C-alpha cells in the first residue's frame, strides 16, 4: 500500500469532522469548527484539498461545491495516528496512556461503567481466545 504521508494536527481536526458527518463540504466543516478556532474559510478549503491530495479523502463535485468523504477507513487512520502518538510519547506502550487518561478527571460514572464492561469483554476474550 502506498503510504500516504501523515496527518498534520490541523488536518486531523478537519478530517475528524468529515468522518463524523460521513461527508461534508468546505462550508459545513468551516461552520462545524469551534468559533474559538476562528480559522478562515479559505484555510479550511486548503486543509480539505490537502487531505484529498494526501489520499485521506475523496472529493466529488456536486454542483459548484465539492463534497469530501473518507477514502481510507477512519478507524484505520485513527489507529495509525494513535499508534504514532503512543510510540513517540509513551514508547509504544498503550497502558501508560490509558492510565493517564483515567487518572486525570474527565470520566463520568457512566463512562466508568462503560469501561468496566469493556474490560470484562477483553478479559473474556482472553480466557476464550485461541491464544493466537
Partner DNA sequence: CATTATGTCGTACGTTTGTAAGCAAAGTTT
Partner DNA sequence: AAACTTTGCTTACAAACGTACGACATAATG
**Residues 19, 97: Cα–Cα separation, whole Å:** 24
The phi-psi region of residue 38 (left if phi > 0; otherwise alpha if psi is between -120 and 50; otherwise beta) is: left
What mask of x and - would describe binding to its own copies in positions 18 to 57, judged by CB under 8 A? --x-------------------------------------
How long, in residues, is the chain? 132
Told to check if 63 binds DNA by CB under 7 A, we report yes
Restricting to residues 22-51, name those near DNA by CB under 7 A: 25-27, 39-43, 45-47, 49-50
What is the distance between the terminal CA atoms of the chain, rounded to a whole angstrom? 25
Applying CB under 8 A, which of residues 63, 106, 130, 131 lies at the interface with its own copies? 106
In the complex, minimum distance from the CB of residue 122 to its own copies, in angstroms, rounded to a whole number: 6
In the complex, minimum distance from the CB of residue 123 to its own copies, in angstroms, rounded to a whole number: 5
For cell 502518538, name the residue. 85
Amino acid at each position: 500500500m502506498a503510504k500516504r504521508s501523515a496527518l498534520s494536527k490541523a488536518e486531523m481536526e478537519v478530517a475528524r469532522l468529515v468522518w463524523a458527518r460521513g461527508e461534508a463540504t468546505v462550508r459545513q466543516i468551516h461552520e462545524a469548527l469551534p468559533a474559538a478556532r476562528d480559522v478562515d474559510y479559505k484555510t479550511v478549503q486548503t486543509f480539505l484539498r490537502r487531505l484529498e491530495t494526501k489520499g485521506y479523502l475523496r472529493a466529488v463535485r456536486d454542483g459548484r461545491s465539492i463534497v469530501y468523504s473518507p477514502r481510507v477507513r477512519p478507524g484505520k487512520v485513527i489507529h495509525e495516528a494513535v499508534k504514532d502518538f503512543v510510540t513517540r510519547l509513551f514508547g509504544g506502550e498503550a497502558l501508560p496512556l490509558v492510565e493517564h487518561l483515567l487518572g486525570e478527571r474527565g470520566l463520568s460514572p457512566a463512562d466508568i461503567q462503560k469501561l468496566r464492561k469493556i474490560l470484562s469483554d477483553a478479559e473474556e476474550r482472553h480466557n476464550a481466545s485461541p491464544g493466537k
